[in-house]
């Protein structure tokens, strides 16, 4: 069994390996919790005394690439291949009964629903419109195929039983539009406090009709146990901490936002879909999870599935592609670094074109050779500085679809640029040979040197 079978087994594992911090002093949900979590980015942090609540809040449960690989039970170098294999071969879920489902140990329905009384939801950023659920798996069912879809949408609390939701035009939106045309609500469940593997699976780039919970099963190596919700026809992970059951109301739009988003800017306020909540179910002594926007947890959970998809797309065009990274400086969304073993003239450019085609979010592409460490931004910049000539190695595509959250675009219309930083195949190889000191790599600094103490260097003449 992988260490991350549930949120709790994962927290036990993080604690045992000294990567879980705890904040025991009272912490305010308005800014203070997010501020502390952000300063501790890279570690998991549990807040046990959130003002006004007895429920603890956790954040940063997978805030490094190594933690995500570990949660999936694989080496970091195998993470993208493992994720790709899971997307290609989903494993159907396993249904359990209500009595077995820890997420339904307590049921609050109808008039007992009071989001703010039950859920410790933080206000994250200075100009956010309010308190948000940011780590909720949003699950809906296609009434035609009965297949479910899972995604994460930001949810602003707007009443005792009401959320405003940002639902971008992808799979959930498609089902919501179809329901709305029939004048019908779309039932949904919002799952908070889930294992990191299922969180990662929810971000897979898949065709419409693939159930992301089945990808979670494939990643876990065993079917994900699910239970039917108590008030809606949706199946949810049985071991979750909280499940919020409800429906997206047809023909209703209410203001949502602004909200600090992954590009480190605010997503705007506008009229958005509304979720009306019919029940909240939870474990005994539940733990609430919040993802601080633009923190490493947020960037990596989105970035790694994007990398897996990007690697597949580039491989169609350039079979000798080695690896890809969505770089952290561009929040794992806008900058793709593609490493290829170039065999044929022009393949660097083909790799750029393939990367543009993979996702409209990809804005700038850097293609590098196998000797460049693509997880090191300084090494990628070195290749850009010394192997790239703009008159020969640059691709510019004007007025393409980009990200609407990129403030430099015209409502998402923007320019794509590709940088082929590979060495020309016919170049003199010595001109491109990286300098190297023999033996340097084998030196362990702590084993050969100690801090100097007790020596005197300056004499009277130095002191004037």
Residues 158-197 that bind Mn ion (CB under 5 A): 171
| Token output for 30 | 């308005």
Residue 198 Cβ, how far from Mn ion at the closest point, in Å?
14
Based on CB atoms, which residue is closest to Mn ion, 14 or 86? 86
Based on CB atoms, which residue is closest to Mn ion, 312 or 327? 312
Residues near 207 by beta carbon (within 8 Å), at least 6 away in sequence: none
What contacts 24+ positions apart, CB below 8 Å, involve 31-39? 31/123, 31/124, 31/125, 31/126, 33/57, 33/59, 33/122, 33/290, 34/59, 34/122, 34/123, 34/124, 34/125, 34/290, 34/292, 37/290, 37/292, 37/295, 38/292, 38/295
State phi, psi for 85 to the nearest 5 degrees.
-65, -35
**Termini Cα distance of the chain:** 70
149: β partners: 140
Residue 358 Cβ, how far from Mn ion at the closest point, in Å?
16
Based on CB atoms, which residue is closest to Mn ion, 171 or 342? 171
Q: Any idea which residue has 């590979």 for tokens?
A: 422
Residue 149 Cβ, how far from Mn ion at the closest point, in Å?
4
State yes or no: residue 403 binds Mn ion (CB under 5 A).
no
Piece of 143-151, 155-163, 180-188, 213-221 that binds Mn ion (CB under 5 A): 143-151
Q: CA-CA distances (angstroms) from residue 318 to 83, 167, 350, 352?
A: 20, 34, 7, 10
State yes or no: residue 149 binds Mn ion (CB under 5 A).
yes
State yes or no: residue 309 binds Mn ion (CB under 5 A).
no
CB closest to Mn ion, residue no:
171
Q: What angle separates helix 79-88 from helix 296-317, to the nearest 10 degrees?
A: 70
Based on CB atoms, which residue is closest to Mn ion, 204 or 280? 204
Piece of 63-71, 101-109, 147-155, 157-165 that binds Mn ion (CB under 5 A): 147-155
Based on CB atoms, which residue is closest to Mn ion, 149 or 158? 149
Based on CB atoms, which residue is closest to Mn ion, 175 or 423? 175
Based on CB atoms, which residue is closest to Mn ion, 90 or 185? 90
State phi, psi for 232 to the nearest 5 degrees.
-135, 160
Task: Pinpoint the alpha helices (H) of 325-399.
Answer: 347-358, 377-387, 390-393
Residue 14 Cβ, how far from Mn ion at the closest point, in Å?
29
Based on CB atoms, which residue is closest to Mn ion, 141 or 171? 171
Residue 148 Cβ, how far from Mn ion at the closest point, in Å?
9
Total residues binding Mn ion (CB under 5 A): 2
Q: Any idea which residue has 């306020």 for tokens?
A: 269
Q: 441: exposed, middle or buried (C-beta count within 10 Å: 0-12, 13-18, 19+)?
A: exposed
| Token output for 383 | 């290749």
Based on CB atoms, which residue is closest to Mn ion, 149 or 359? 149
Based on CB atoms, which residue is closest to Mn ion, 134 or 148? 148
Task: Pinpoint the alpha helices (H) of 17-132.
Answer: 32-39, 65-71, 79-88, 115-118
Residue 210 Cβ, how far from Mn ion at the closest point, in Å?
6
- DSSP letter at 25 equals S
Based on CB atoms, which residue is closest to Mn ion, 59 or 149? 149
- Please give the Cα distance from 280 to 381 (Å, whole number): 49
Residue 206 Cβ, how far from Mn ion at the closest point, in Å?
5
Piece of 12-20, 148-156, 234-242, 290-298 that binds Mn ion (CB under 5 A): 148-156
Residue 275-294 contact track with Mn ion, rule CB under 5 A, x = bound: --------------------
| Token output for 88 | 């290609």
Residue 167 Cβ, how far from Mn ion at the closest point, in Å?
12
Residue 144 Cβ, how far from Mn ion at the closest point, in Å?
15
Residue 53 Cβ, how far from Mn ion at the closest point, in Å?
32
Residue 200 Cβ, how far from Mn ion at the closest point, in Å?
14
Q: Which residues bind Mn ion (CB under 5 A)?
A: 149, 171
């Amino acid at each position: 069994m992988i260490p991350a079978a549930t949120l709790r087994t994962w927290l036990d594992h993080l604690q045992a390996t000294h990567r879980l911090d705890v904040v025991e002093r009272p912490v305010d949900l308005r800014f203070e919790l997010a501020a502390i979590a952000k300063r501790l980015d890279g570690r998991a942090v549990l807040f046990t005394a959130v003002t006004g609540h007895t429920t603890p809040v956790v954040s940063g449960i997978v805030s490094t690439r190594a933690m995500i690989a570990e949660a999936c039970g694989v080496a970091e170098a195998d993470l993208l291949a493992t994720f790709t294999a899971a997307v290609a071969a989903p494993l159907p879920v396993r249904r359990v009964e209500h009595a077995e489902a820890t997420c339904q140990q307590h049921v609050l329905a109808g008039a007992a629903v009071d989001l703010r009384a039950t859920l410790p939801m933080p206000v994250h950023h200075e100009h956010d419109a309010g308190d948000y659920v940011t780590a909720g798996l949003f699950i809906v069912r296609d009434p035609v195929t009965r297949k479910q879809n899972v995604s994460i949408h930001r949810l602003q609390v707007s009443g005792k039983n009401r959320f405003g939701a940002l639902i971008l035009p992808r799979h959930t939106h498609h089902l919501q539009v179809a329901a709305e045309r029939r004048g019908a609500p779309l039932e949904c469940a919002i799952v908070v406090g889930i294992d990191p593997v299922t969180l990662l699976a929810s971000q897979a780039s898949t065709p419409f009709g693939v159930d992301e919970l089945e990808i979670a099963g494939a990643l876990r190596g065993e079917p994900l146990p699910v239970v039917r919700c108590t008030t809606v026809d949706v199946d949810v992970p049985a071991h979750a901490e909280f499940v919020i059951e409800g429906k997206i109301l047809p023909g209703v739009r209410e203001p949502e936002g602004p909200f600090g988003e992954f590009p480190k800017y605010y997503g705007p306020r506008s009229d958005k879909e509304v979720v009306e909540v019919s029940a909240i179910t939870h474990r005994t002594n539940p733990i609430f999870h919040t993802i601080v926007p633009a923190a490493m947890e947020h960037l990596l959970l989105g970035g790694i599935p994007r990398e897996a998809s990007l690697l597949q797309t580039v491989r169609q065009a350039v079979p000798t592609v080695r690896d890809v990274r969505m770089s952290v400086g561009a929040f794992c969304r806008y900058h793709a670094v593609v490493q290829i073993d170039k065999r044929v003239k022009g393949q660097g450019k083909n790799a750029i074109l393939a990367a543009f085609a993979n996702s409209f979010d990809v804005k700038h592409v850097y293609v590098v050779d196998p000797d460049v460490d693509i997880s090191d931004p300084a090494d990628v910049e070195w290749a850009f500085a010394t192997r790239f000539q703009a008159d020969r190695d640059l691709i510019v595509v004007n007025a393409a679809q980009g990200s609407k959250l990129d403030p430099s675009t015209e409502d998402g219309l923007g320019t794509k640029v590709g940088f082929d930083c590979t060495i020309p195949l016919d170049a003199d190889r010595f001109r491109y040979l990286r300098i190297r000191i023999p033996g340097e790599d084998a030196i362990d600094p702590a084993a050969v040197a100690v801090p100097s103490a007790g020596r005197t260097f300056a004499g009277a003449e130095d002191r004037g």
